A and B are shown apart, each in its own frame.
Chain A
């Protein structure tokens, strides 16, 4: 193998690596680091399915183009199945899944119990509601699975060209086998993990898009081994006989080690030759590949794990409520059972208790009677557990998500065509109770639009601009700053990625500076040391840079503007058009040979390039985080280091992202010996990354500092206002900024305070815990790691204690003063130590805002779970990058910004929004409403079932505790599923206390959610009390009918007449009570409430008119007609509901009048605004006020049809791609839109 190939492979890998730094490096950290972090954290209730990684044959051997040879191994086919069930397993497995829910299992047991003679009720009472609930759930499951199946089918039946003998044959994907040679055409998807053999492009490269894997839309280059370049046409390809030895299937997307043995030569393989299933081919006519992993063994499929499901705190509390209900049920049964044991007596001759009597009623064995009656009563009172509650909640939440959150135009970002997206539907109400927000900074609070803003070269600072943050700070300090664009100096240049104003460096003026050599190195470093790909015409104006991160692009753009125009990259060289180097005005194209690229990754936090100048000079250029670079500087030149560090701090305090540049001259021997080690490390099969890092350390030392760059990261639109609103809503915002993995930008420590300025307004008391103190630095200089750790820990401990005291004093003496804690990652590491955690938490909870800087993804997650678990507060994490994934998963609610850093965060999140400012709508409007609605639904369910069951309970006392049912079987079974089902769902969907705009105008309303005002035990107790009161009214008032009331013809009502009357009253009352609980009453409410009541009467009219021939008691035959022939019935049905509701009405009015909730005050204030909250608001029209018409119009415009969408990771995307291709009608997923947004960006970038 020639050295040339080696070089090419290396460079291409480097390029790939560089891009991985963007998504790859980050995503591998999200894939694995995430796992690690959650595991270490003890997992926020999340557990990941670890893929089985067979240990035994550690090497997989694939014989290319030789099915027979592969046959003995028995590789799996390429057909995939993502369905949960098959036709045979659907019923047993589906039912099993359903009965894993406690409520369903409980009702199953009750149903079984009700088939025994001890049951007072016919089995129908419990079986009907249970089967209805199960039916609904199963239909939903079946529907979802059917969609999955259809998609699987369409995927499996997609066609791909496969080599058969000497020609291509179109074959369905599922027929594909390991070792097959396939041809993929342009824009086609790879059907399996392929070994890239050859392409139509010269140099054996091809371009792929990995959007389905990581959301990255920039193209990546893959390069075939030179050995296999020739196998382009079928004749040649058929002659290809190779043996691939590679790792066993695993889920690591960015690693691949293996060897290709062809013609007895062993050639190492890298990820660079692997084309992953799910990616698509771009800008290449076609490629030839050999199948290595198929079907479920592909990396993509092995990665498709389920997002760990989170349960909302409200639901957890609901479990407690259910437990309380069980306790109530149990005590009711005990009372009844004891009563029955005492009551039963032979003296009641009419009960026929003499002689042989079954156990249940045998007075001779009262104990058995008691026990059996216990079961009887459990069956009788089973309605106390609301069986349809969970199904109803699920439905409500699902509709809330799909109809309201996903369709809200307030959260629709028109520029990127991205609506909000609820990825899980079970956390809606959690959004209404968030108390702590943990926010990433870059890309979340800021735009991630990087602009080269300032720099420091050789100890000299350049760049005169003033950042937004400085402006803000100055304005607050009372200094007026002229922000007139016209007054900017003529030298100021502003283009994409470059916003720099200093004539001293522009147009070759740097030659006259004190240190032109340093400037030259600085610019060269910028122009050479990167992994950017130029695109488009090679002119200054038209070129565009494809970079993994905007930082890199900004740096290269800066070099361009300084006269070092990087315009072309070949696998081995970087072409730079240098101006003014030899003399002013001279322009020359200089090819720099790139010998090695030492990739960026999050542990290295730096990136180096070894290049050879045309004149043979060997230089290593390095750029990286300041601390990393400073550690590796050569001795001497202390002044410059010191001034540079000062500059770094200045940049940092201006809110700029900094990066240090350094270089090192190498001599030939030095390099050669090192390069050998490097090549060795590079071709090793095991621990390649680790070895490469070690080798890199060998050469990245004795660096000479050139200077540092400062890049401005612009704030997102509306962020300050949003933060202000959220603070007013009582939400505490913590900013957790990390090193940005992509470019190792070191967030300067001082920057934190800047963000505080808008986090908290004026007069903030800051507590700063930093590792950058003199004492620590001194210790660091001495260099003993144990000593350093001890010193830092002590100082952290000390400051935590002191600050805690101070904070409490300040809180008591001047409560209106805001407190802020700033801590850096290093100190945080010690502060998170179990011994100091409590102090940290205590202090940070008092503080109004907390900023943690330079924190690792793991620390982000740790901080999140510190608050989540330690303080038991509801937390929300928001971020956009892969480094936020762990934090997003650790928090109660994770929000991903569908921004520019790929889809990692979005895929891990529960909700995805396009902009930070949409958080206001998401939390204050949707979250609050969801919370309010869910609370209402749950408490109402609780109330209606308790009321219903308690009437039974009172009746039990009148029946000698025999467990006789009060209601007919069908009344009882349909009560929950028909007569009271729909209105509560309507309330769960449409109830709103105040309008969306008022919710945002009065963020204080949100505090009710934080305090959980609507689902406290007190609230439940009030409902419980009224359930108690009402049930007494129902039972005793209607029972009076039988005692004194009779028809005018003197006839007497019987048991079933009374119970039917009572049931009518219950249905009427319970439905009306719901209306009273509503804040906004729409016609849907009226329809559903009236409909439910009417449904009951229609039912009873029909039901009591028919007589079946079955052997059953015709208890309620004609009952309603008998009742309706009496006046008494009408008077009762008017009286009882009113008396029952009287208490509630009185309570509500007194509460509203004297102890109003905040929202009620707002309602009062705005009651005269007719269209605010009393208006009928439907999902289609609710969010459309006139001023939104414009954005509505935009959203209504026909959207460009999605050409390709998701593939793996996430089944929705997976589905829709093929669905759209095959014309299978899959409902439009909002996910597509998010993806389309990223496509759009890409297009915009290209054009």
Chain B
């Protein structure tokens, strides 16, 4: 047992250190903008603000870089209290339709966004596509335009196999209620990467999704200006919206958690290994088998309890 603990400890501590170091290298800038982008006069009625199409949703945010960020810098949006994993939501899509042009009519699971009012199938159908996130971001550093590269933000397997190259959006967002972004009908689904990213539903109600990458190095105290279109309605359900700029290491994003977990477990194991070794010297294991003692003890107990008899 001691050796097991020890071995686990010995392996885990270095792994923990390495991953913690990796996580420490990651620079992450988070900016919550849903509150701030509401005009001052409408803070009490955010819903009206977001639903009023006449009000400009453009919002300017300034971010200060606290630590130098090496390219590529990943741009994420983070939503909160958004149940992409709700049963009604998860199933509201049709993979066959997304993949195959000929199956445009297959909208079986897509309730309630199956067809338009006159029965035309919606492509892509379903709640997931319908509620596509539609805030947009553009970044400038001074006068320098930091272009956001939106290529290859989705998993290759999704792009190539789940979304057809010849499937084009049709009847999308034509209903009375608009859930979110519209899609350019001339671009095939396999190239609508925002949609593809969105449709890989998240596991938890708080999630990030990749928006794009910026191939510029950012230095400490750089100030970048974000010009964003605050279109997406999270106000009705009280969700937060955040913009996240992050670098990545081999391990991925900022993930102290894993490193700490490794360190703690490893440390605990080493500690226990020592503790057990110590225990071994202080209190050696019971090696005498005192059966007669047990026996008589058992007898007395059974007598004292005076076995209850039931018929």
Instruction: List residues of A whose CB falls within 8 A of some B CB.
Output: 120, 345, 347-352, 354-358, 361, 376, 728, 730, 808, 811-812, 815-816, 834, 837-838, 841-842, 845-846, 869-872, 955, 958-960, 962-964, 1002, 1004, 1007, 1037, 1039-1055, 1057-1059, 1107, 1109, 1111-1114, 1117-1118, 1121-1122, 1126-1128, 1131-1132, 1134-1135, 1138-1139, 1142, 1145-1146, 1148-1149, 1152-1154, 1156, 1158, 1161-1162, 1164-1165
User: Is chain A's binding surface mostly helix, strand, loop or mixed?
Assistant: helix
Since A869-B311, A1045-B252, A1051-B153 are in contact, a sample of 9 more A-B pairs with Cβ atoms closer than 8 Å, ordered by chain A residue number, is A1044-B252, A1047-B248, A1048-B249, A1048-B252, A1054-B200, A1059-B203, A1126-B252, A1152-B1, A1164-B287
Say whether B251 faces chain A, with CB atoms less than 8 Å apart: yes
Instruction: List residues of B whose CB falls within 8 A of some A CB.
Output: 1, 4-5, 8, 12, 15, 19, 72, 74, 76, 82-96, 106, 108-109, 111-113, 127, 130-131, 152-155, 157-158, 161-162, 177, 179-180, 197, 200-210, 213, 233, 236-238, 246, 248-255, 257-258, 261-262, 265, 268-269, 272, 276, 279, 283, 285-287, 289, 291-292, 294-296, 298-300, 302-303, 306-307, 309-311
CB distance from A368 to the nearest CB of B (A): 15
Chain A residues positioned under 8 Å from B131 (CB to CB): 349-350
Pick from A730, A845, A1059: contact of B295, CB below 8 A: A730
**Is B85 touching A1045 in the complex (CB atoms < 8 A)?**
no
Pick from A837, A1004, A1044: contact of B294, CB below 8 A: A1004
Pick from A345, A1002, A1055, A1131: contact of B289, CB below 8 A: A1002
CB distance from A278 to the nearest CB of B (A): 42
Chain A residues positioned under 8 Å from B72 (CB to CB): 1050
Chain A residues positioned under 8 Å from B306 (CB to CB): 842
**Is A959 touching B265 in the complex (CB atoms < 8 A)?**
no
- Whether A350 touches B257, Cβ cut-off 8 Å, given contacts A1051-B210, A1117-B162, A1149-B276, is no
**Is A871 touching B307 in the complex (CB atoms < 8 A)?**
yes
Closest residue on chain B to residue A357 by CB atoms: B112
**Is A1046 touching B204 in the complex (CB atoms < 8 A)?**
no
Chain A residues positioned under 8 Å from B252 (CB to CB): 1044-1048, 1126-1128
Give Cα A838–Cα B306 distance, bound, in whole angstroms: 12
Give Cα A1064–Cα B237 distance, bound, in whole angstroms: 34
Chain B residues positioned under 8 Å from A1164 (CB to CB): 285, 287
- Whether A1161 touches B157, Cβ cut-off 8 Å, given contacts A960-B83, A1039-B204, is no
Give Cα A1033–Cα B13 distance, bound, in whole angstroms: 19
Q: Which of A348, A728, A1050 has the largest number of chain B CB atoms within 10 A? A: A1050
Give Cα A1037–Cα B237 distance, bound, in whole angstroms: 27
**Is A348 touching B299 in the complex (CB atoms < 8 A)?**
no
- Whether A361 touches B88, Cβ cut-off 8 Å, given contacts A1042-B203, A1153-B285, is yes
**Is B203 touching A351 in the complex (CB atoms < 8 A)?**
no
**Is A1055 touching B296 in the complex (CB atoms < 8 A)?**
no
Pick from B4, B89, B197, B255: contact of A1045, CB below 8 A: B255
CB distance from B125 to the nearest CB of A (A): 12
**Is B311 touching A838 in the complex (CB atoms < 8 A)?**
yes
Give Cα A964–Cα B204 distance, bound, in whole angstroms: 12
Pick 25 A–B contacts, CB within 8 A, sort by A.
A349-B177, A352-B88, A354-B177, A811-B300, A815-B300, A816-B292, A870-B309, A959-B85, A1042-B204, A1044-B255, A1047-B248, A1048-B252, A1050-B213, A1055-B84, A1111-B94, A1111-B96, A1126-B252, A1127-B250, A1127-B252, A1134-B15, A1135-B261, A1135-B265, A1142-B8, A1153-B276, A1161-B287
Pick from B197, B258, B289: contact of A1135, CB below 8 A: B258
**Is B91 touching A1113 in the complex (CB atoms < 8 A)?**
yes
CB distance from B197 to the nearest CB of A (A): 7
**Is A1052 touching B285 in the complex (CB atoms < 8 A)?**
no
**Is B204 touching A1043 in the complex (CB atoms < 8 A)?**
yes
- Whether A347 touches B236, Cβ cut-off 8 Å, given contacts A356-B112, A812-B300, A869-B311, is yes
Give Cα A1161–Cα B286 distance, bound, in whole angstroms: 7
**Is B289 touching A348 in the complex (CB atoms < 8 A)?**
no
Q: Which of A357, A834, A1149 has the largest number of chain B CB atoms within 10 A? A: A1149
Give Cα A61–Cα B15 distance, bound, in whole angstroms: 93
Closest residue on chain A to residue B268 by CB atoms: A1142
Chain A residues positioned under 8 Å from B251 (CB to CB): 1045, 1048, 1127-1128, 1131
CB distance from A847 to the nearest CB of B (A): 11
**Is B309 touching A1004 in the complex (CB atoms < 8 A)?**
no
**Is B237 touching A348 in the complex (CB atoms < 8 A)?**
yes
CB distance from A459 to the nearest CB of B (A): 47
**Is A959 touching B258 in the complex (CB atoms < 8 A)?**
no
**Is B86 touching A960 in the complex (CB atoms < 8 A)?**
yes
Pairs A-B, 5 closest by C-beta atoms = A1118-B157, A962-B87, A1054-B200, A350-B131, A1050-B74
**Is B307 touching A842 in the complex (CB atoms < 8 A)?**
yes
Give Cα A727–Cα B265 distance, bound, in whole angstroms: 48
Chain A residues positioned under 8 Å from B268 (CB to CB): 1142
Give Cα A347–Cα B47 distance, bound, in whole angstroms: 11
Pick from A815, A1113, A1139, A1165: contact of B296, CB below 8 A: A815
Closest residue on chain A to residue B47 by CB atoms: A347
Chain A residues positioned under 8 Å from B253 (CB to CB): 1044-1046, 1050
CB distance from A1106 to the nearest CB of B (A): 11
Chain B residues positioned under 8 Å from A1045 (CB to CB): 251-253, 255, 258
Give Cα A1052–Cα B209 distance, bound, in whole angstroms: 6
Give Cα A294–Cα B135 distance, bound, in whole angstroms: 90
Give Cα A917–Cα B84 distance, bound, in whole angstroms: 68
**Is B157 touching A1121 in the complex (CB atoms < 8 A)?**
yes
CB distance from A110 to the nearest CB of B (A): 17
Pick from B74, B265, B309: contact of A871, CB below 8 A: B309
Give Cα A1106–Cα B109 distance, bound, in whole angstroms: 21
Chain B residues positioned under 8 Å from A1039 (CB to CB): 203-204
Chain A residues positioned under 8 Å from B300 (CB to CB): 811-812, 815
Give Cα A815–Cα B294 distance, bound, in whole angstroms: 12
Chain A residues positioned under 8 Å from B307 (CB to CB): 842, 845, 871
**Is A120 touching B87 in the complex (CB atoms < 8 A)?**
yes
CB distance from A1176 to the nearest CB of B (A): 22
Give Cα A354–Cα B176 distance, bound, in whole angstroms: 12
Chain A residues positioned under 8 Å from B283 (CB to CB): 1154
Give Cα A1050–Cα B150 distance, bound, in whole angstroms: 12
**Is B207 touching A1052 in the complex (CB atoms < 8 A)?**
yes
Chain B residues positioned under 8 Å from A1053 (CB to CB): 203
**Is A1138 touching B296 in the complex (CB atoms < 8 A)?**
no
**Is A1145 touching B296 in the complex (CB atoms < 8 A)?**
no
CB distance from B145 to the nearest CB of A (A): 21
Chain A residues positioned under 8 Å from B248 (CB to CB): 1046-1050
CB distance from B252 to the nearest CB of A (A): 5
Give Cα A1134–Cα B162 distance, bound, in whole angstroms: 31
- Whether A347 touches B113, Cβ cut-off 8 Å, given contacts A1039-B204, A1052-B210, A1138-B12, is no
**Is A1113 touching B93 in the complex (CB atoms < 8 A)?**
yes
Chain B residues positioned under 8 Å from A1002 (CB to CB): 289
Chain B residues positioned under 8 Å from A1162 (CB to CB): 289
Pick from B76, B89, B291: contact of A350, CB below 8 A: B89
Pick from A350, A361, A1128, A1165: contact of B82, CB below 8 A: A350
**Is B257 touching A1044 in the complex (CB atoms < 8 A)?**
yes
Chain B residues positioned under 8 Å from A1146 (CB to CB): 272
Chain A residues positioned under 8 Å from B302 (CB to CB): 845-846
**Is B109 touching A1165 in the complex (CB atoms < 8 A)?**
no
Give Cα A527–Cα B271 distance, bound, in whole angstroms: 87
**Is A1149 touching B1 in the complex (CB atoms < 8 A)?**
yes
Chain A residues positioned under 8 Å from B87 (CB to CB): 120, 376, 959, 962-964
Chain A residues positioned under 8 Å from B249 (CB to CB): 1048
Give Cα A841–Cα B307 distance, bound, in whole angstroms: 10
**Is A1043 touching B210 in the complex (CB atoms < 8 A)?**
no
Pick from B5, B203, B254, B299: contact of A811, CB below 8 A: B299
Closest residue on chain B to residue A376 by CB atoms: B87
Chain B residues positioned under 8 Å from A1049 (CB to CB): 152, 248
Chain B residues positioned under 8 Å from A958 (CB to CB): 85, 203-205
**Is A1135 touching B95 in the complex (CB atoms < 8 A)?**
no
